Amino acid sequence: MSAALSFEQAPPLSVPFRFFLTAPLFGIAAGVLFALEGDAVLESRWSLQAFAVVHLLTVGFMLQVMVGALLQFLPVAAGANVWRPRLLANLVHPALTLGAVALVAGFLGAGAWTMQVAAVLLGAGVLLFGAAASVGLWRSPAIGPTLRVLQLAVAGLLVATGLGVTLASGFGWRLAVPFVLLQQLHLAWGLLGWALMLVVGVAYLVVPMFQLTPPYALRPSRALPAALLASLSCWTLGALADVAWLAWWATVLGAAGTVGFAAYTLRLQARRKRKVTDTTLRAWRVGMACLLLAVPVSVLARLGWPASLLPRVEYLLGVTVLAGAFPAVIAGMLYKIVPFIEWMHLQRVMTLPPTMQKVIPDARARWQWRLFVASLVLLAGAAAWAPLAVPGGLLFAAACALLEWHLLRAVQLYRSLTPR
């Protein structure tokens, strides 16, 4: 990204923070539900309980943080002015929150009407956000790989949401839709086209900035999203045309892109100028390690081998990606983004605002990281011994609760330092 950070274009602090403060609540719910319904989740990824846990993590936890972060990131770092950010957040945040609650309630048997509500609210919320973000990105004067990857990520979100809304409508209005086909495409576009693509684009800026690493080289920066986009294209065409070799190419390209990004990020972190290891760095390392582990597990799942253990292999893949890689990176970045945003706003009203380290001390954040890692080990271990699902789910909920507490403490500090 060629342009410098534009602090004067930052939205009001309440715009991203409402999303950040909501996300851990869904993480808590996911951990508790998993502790209660772990047997059903372990038995099959097609169970309604598994769908509920997955969407608490993806639509509830991940989407909230990612949308909030982009509303802050786009104008400040990408020069993409978002239309009336306060009004946009006032519309998008309740739509995503209530839509996620309705969706999970529908999976848990609350009735078809909840799926109808979820389809309308989530579709409208994402469409509104996607339209505003897309206009800002296309009008941005900035150049560089970050801008292009963010454009692809927003497009991936719109595609994934369109597929998800179709699936929810099929449940809600009893429509005859190809559920298995749409679910596979929805999963691919949601994880590769939106979530991973966004992490890649944001990493190009925040990893060198916050972790003091060398910058991502131009050629790999272009190759990584290209591999992900090629994977999605092959996967979509292969699924629609029922061409097996295209699906295999999708697996190869997706694996190459994922391994390339994770390995290259770890390499840059090993060459960082600041040798202090903080919670954000630890969290990113866990996240990248989970991405690397997910690749061979996904290949096993794609092969359907061993057949007798396929549900557990698919479960392990879900843990490494949805409970491991993305939550680790998200939590790690929140411990940098939230203090940075507060410092940025406080310097406008104070001569000497508190440093980022004082907003959320790393000693506190480290406890959340320890709880998270312990939960991840137990959740992964449940693939071999199911009773570990209960303590694993409860520890995951506890880690999210501690993250929520840290964010609330940060907000409390900000309010105590700003004039009424």
Over the chain, what is the mean pLDDT?
94
Please state the pTM of the whole predicted model: 0.96
Give the residue numbers spanning the domain of 145. 7-407
Residue 70 forms part of a structural domain: yes
- The CB-based long-range contact list for 254-259 (8 Å cut-off, 24+ gap) reads 254/192, 254/227, 254/228, 254/298, 255/295, 255/298, 255/299, 256/227, 257/192, 257/196, 257/224, 257/225, 257/227, 257/228, 257/231, 258/196, 258/228, 258/291, 258/292, 258/294, 258/295, 259/291, 259/292, 259/295
* Continuous segment of H or E residues that includes residue 12: none
Task: Please state, as a whole number, how many other Cβ atoms lie within 10 Å of the Cβ of residue 6.
Answer: 14
Pair 240, 182: CB distance under 8 Å? no
Q: What is the pLDDT of residue 2?
A: 41
Q: What is the pLDDT of residue 77?
A: 76
pLDDT digits (tens, 9 = 90+) for 170-225: 999 999 999 999 999 999 999 999 999 999 999 999 999 999 999 999 999 999 99
* CATH classification at residue 62: 1.20.210.10
Residue 2 forms part of a structural domain: no
Average pLDDT over residues 407-415: 96
Residue 412 forms part of a structural domain: no
Residue 1 forms part of a structural domain: no
Q: Is residue 335 scored above 90 in pLDDT? A: yes
pLDDT band at 256, cuts 50/70/90?
very high
CA-to-CA distance for 8 and 6, rounded, in angstroms?
A: 5
Q: Is residue 55 scored above 60 in pLDDT? A: yes
pLDDT digits (tens, 9 = 90+) for 384-407: 999 999 999 999 999 999 999 999
Domain count, the chain: 1
Q: Is residue 5 scored above 80 in pLDDT? A: no
Q: What is the pLDDT of residue 419?
A: 78
pLDDT band at 341, cuts 50/70/90?
very high
Q: What is the pLDDT of residue 420?
A: 66
Residue 282 forms part of a structural domain: yes
Q: What is the pLDDT of residue 286?
A: 98
Residue 33 forms part of a structural domain: yes
Residues of the chain above pLDDT 90, percent: 85
Residue 418 forms part of a structural domain: no
Mapping DSSP to helix (H, G, I), strand (E, B) and coil, where does residue 198 land? helix
Average pLDDT over residues 279-299: 96
Residue 112 forms part of a structural domain: yes
Q: What is the pLDDT of residue 140?
A: 86
Q: What is the pLDDT of residue 22?
A: 98
pLDDT band at 328, cuts 50/70/90?
very high
